[in-house]
Amino acid sequence: MDTVTLVGIDLGKHRFHLHGQDKRGKAVFRKKLSRKQLVEFFSTFHPCTEAMETCAGAHHTARLLASFGHNVKLISPQFVRPFVKSNKNDFVDAEAICEAACRPAMHFVTPKTESQQTLSTLHRVRESLVRDRTKAVNQIHGFLLEFGVSLPIGSATIRRLPAVLAEHPLPPKLVAIIERLRLHVKYLEEQIGQLERDIARQVSDDEVGQRLMTIPGIGVITASVLSSEMGDGKQYRCGRDFAAAIGLVPRQHGTGGRNNLLGISRRGDKNIRRLLVTYARAYMIRLDKQTGRLADWVRSMMTRRHSNVVACALANKLARTAWAITTNHTVFESHS
């Protein structure tokens, strides 16, 4: 056991499968442990490297093992899959994780801190509630339209829904259902508002988030998402790597020495990519009111490229700017 230098861990809900190997890649042990046994095992095991896939519980386990003095490496599951042998089981997965971790060019994921995970949880809950609100509002619109009542587009009309219902002769049971949905929408809006206030309070105490908000148009939500997902930004070599990690660079398909650049790759965190592209489009709509080098660059791009291409290019530039602000401890200067 003293010769073990690398341990691959296949994470599970209740059981963990371990594959340990020495520096030559020879298998030394295989173990199946419970969560409690895993903690007891690594608390007394000599410091070495542990590799895991980035799945549920990976960041917590990484922090726990790091507290015991181990070197923990997290790998995206898509990079482990090619190393899985034909017969797949949990021990084979653990061995494949070891094989992937040995590759010198492998990309690893930096474990998140507790505060980063908490902020990420707030965002995921908010997104879920926003989807539920949109679903309920669409149901109200659809049900009323079936009875000949057409409401204006948007959720703002839900606030004056009682007056609309009073103007039209509708079945009492339908009115009761619509009223129940209206109260549900009101409840969801209250919960979303509370979560947004919680996020705003966390960003106000976050030095990185405050600096990211100096970028024109970047608000609390986008700044907090960038702060929670990017951390200190040191896991990326440069801003271009961060933009590539969230899928804002062209996808390549090349053979025979000829490389073709396609649309954006759309890899990585789609929420960050969506927020940056949405902000880029909003910036372009108000371009006549914008000044500075960034606005001049967008205007020159608009004369040569389609607006969709410009939006993605601007989102790419914003991602690289956010990385530079985070790693260099600076703020955005529009006229520099």
* Tens-binned pLDDT, residue by residue, of the chain (336 aa): 778 889 999 998 889 999 998 888 888 888 899 999 999 999 889 889 999 998 888 999 999 999 999 999 999 888 899 888 878 888 889 999 999 998 888 888 888 888 888 888 888 999 999 999 999 998 988 888 888 888 887 767 787 788 878 888 888 898 899 899 999 999 999 999 999 998 888 888 888 888 888 887 788 888 888 888 887 778 888 888 888 888 888 887 777 778 787 778 888 778 888 888 988 898 888 888 888 788 888 889 888 989 888 999 999 988 898 888 888 888 887 654
CA distance 334 to 336: 6
pTM assigned to the model? 0.80
Using only the alpha carbons of the chain, give its radius of gyration. 25
- Tell me the backbone φ, ψ of residue 255, rounded to 5 degrees: -160, 150
The pLDDT value given to residue 334: 66
Residues 55 and 35: their CA atoms lie apart, in Å, by: 15
Distance CA 147, CA 26 (A): 71
Residues 180-189: contacts with CB within 8 Å, 24+ apart? 181/136, 181/139, 181/140, 181/143, 182/140, 182/158, 184/136, 185/133, 185/136, 185/137, 185/140, 185/155, 185/158, 188/129, 188/132, 188/133, 188/136, 189/133
Model pLDDT, residue 335: 58
- What was the pLDDT predicted at 126? 92
What pLDDT does 194 receive? Answer: 93
Q: What ranges in the chain are assigned the alpha helix state H?
A: 35-44, 58-67, 77-80, 90-101, 114-146, 161-167, 172-204, 207-212, 220-230, 239-245, 270-285, 293-302, 307-328
**CB-CB contact of 273 with 279 (8 Å):** no
Pick the CATH number of 6-109 from 3.40.605.10, 3.30.420.40, 3.40.630.10, 3.30.70.20: 3.30.420.40
Q: Is beta strand 108-109 parallel, antiparallel or unpaired with respect to 71-75? A: antiparallel
Residues in the chain: 336
- Using the CB atoms, write b or e for 276-313: b if 16+ within 10 Å: bbebbbebbeeeeebeeebbeebeebeeeeeeeebbbb
In this predicted structure, what is the pLDDT of residue 51? Answer: 92
- Domain borders along the chain are 6-109, 114-205, 210-328
CA-wise closest residue to 11 among 47, 35, 28, 30: 35
The residues pairing with 8 across neighbouring beta strands, listed in sequence order, are 19, 51
